[in-house]
Amino acid sequence: MSQANLDDPTELELMAGYVLGDLSDAEAERLQSVLASDDRAADILHELEMTSAAVQLASMRPDAGPMPRDVADRIGAEGRRMVEQRAAEVQHSGGTVSVAAKGVSTREWVAWFCAAAAVLLAIALWQRDQGATQRDVRQARAALLRQSDSLLRVDWTPGKTPFDQPVSGDVVWDSESQTGFMRFENMPINDPSAEQYQLWIIDPQRDDEPIDGGVFDVTDSGEVIVEIDAKLNVIAPAAFAITIEKPGGVVVSSQERLPLLAAVN
């Protein structure tokens, strides 16, 4: 069986056109000839079809905020690793090293395409998961507002080191179920690799030290809802405070950066 010339950019263009659904009748016939003459072409086309379908499916609900920089960096590094590995495999197997358009061989182009598609897919999946998480949290908060008879609800006010721009929102907390949520609007997006937000619950009946309410990130400048993750049982909260800490948070906060406070009247 003769082999198709996979270093010919026009043959890869035919495959891309097939995936995009814009081949003419003549081009479709040419592609069938390419597929019939080389199993490698059929394998590549299958990869492109599966990747395209997965990316489109995962991208159906891109309703979350931007991906945190550290996550994007990790995905980018993985994409580069994939390309380097593919290039090493081609060299080791004595594969074609001829240069196609703009100095990049078709096989290199395919490697880059697959890596880029993997990055797009990872981003789309992350966005879908984040969007689903926000919807779940919103529903849980709404249920708490409807069902709790002992609900505490307090608005955020500027702390001792307020943000440059006003941030609104509130805290809802139910001591009976030990469940609560924070809601923010126009909260500055943070870089998790540099700093994170941390909630502190002041409860004099429990302890002189504030209770750690969990570390969290803000990835959207619009409305964001975060579930409270109290590390100890909360008896009678007197206030809720947001501090900005190092990645991972701290056990005891110096409260040098305390932009938001919700004091119970």
DSSP string, 171-201: EEEETTTTEEEEEEESPPPP-TTT-EEEEEE
Length of the chain: 265
Sorting pLDDT into bands at 50, 70 and 90, what band is 148? confident
Q: In the structure encoding, which two tokens stand for residue 9, read together?
A: 């950019």
Q: In the structure encoding, which two tokens stand for residue 226, read together?
A: 């975060």
Helix axes 106-147, 69-92, angle to 10 degrees: 150
Query: What does the mean pLDDT of the chain come to?
Result: 76
Sorting pLDDT into bands at 50, 70 and 90, what band is 35? confident
pLDDT digits (tens, 9 = 90+) for 177-198: 999 999 999 999 999 999 999 9
Q: In the structure encoding, which two tokens stand for residue 135, read together?
A: 């919807």
Query: Angle at CA 163, nearest 5°, toward 161 and 166?
Result: 125
- Examine the pLDDT at 233 and tell me if it is beyond 50: yes
Q: In the prediction, which pLDDT does 82 show?
A: 52
CA–CA gap between residue 116 and residue 157 (Å, rounded): 44
User: What are the helix (H) ranges across the chain?
Assistant: 9-20, 25-37, 39-58, 69-92, 106-147
Question: Would the pTM of this model clear 0.85, i.e. be above it?
Answer: no
- Examine the pLDDT at 220 and tell me if it is beyond 90: no
User: What number is the average pLDDT over the span 37-46?
Assistant: 74
Per-domain boundaries in the chain: 9-138, 148-263
Tell me which residue of 220, 175, 225, 166 sits closest to 199, measured CA to CA. Answer: 225
pLDDT digits (tens, 9 = 90+) for 81-117: 554 555 455 455 554 433 344 454 544 555 556 655 5
- Assess contact for 213 and 225: CB atoms under 8 A: no
Tell me, what amino acid is at 149?
A: D
Sorting pLDDT into bands at 50, 70 and 90, what band is 26? confident
Other beta carbons within 10 Å of 194: 11
CA–CA gap between residue 51 and residue 119 (Å, rounded): 11
- Examine the pLDDT at 141 and tell me if it is beyond 80: yes
Question: What's the number of CA atoms in the CB half-sphere (13 Å) around residue 60?
Answer: 5
CA distances 186 to 29, 74, 222, 257, Å, are 55, 27, 5, 18
| Highest mean pLDDT out of 32-36, 38-42, 215-219 | 215-219
Tell me, what amino acid is at 91?
A: Q
Question: What's the number of CA atoms in the CB half-sphere (13 Å) around residue 27?
Answer: 15
Q: In the structure encoding, which two tokens stand for residue 69, read together?
A: 């920089």
- Assess contact for 121 and 67: CB atoms under 8 A: no
- Assess contact for 166 and 184: CB atoms under 8 A: no
Q: In the prediction, which pLDDT does 183 show?
A: 96
Tell me, what amino acid is at 171?
A: V
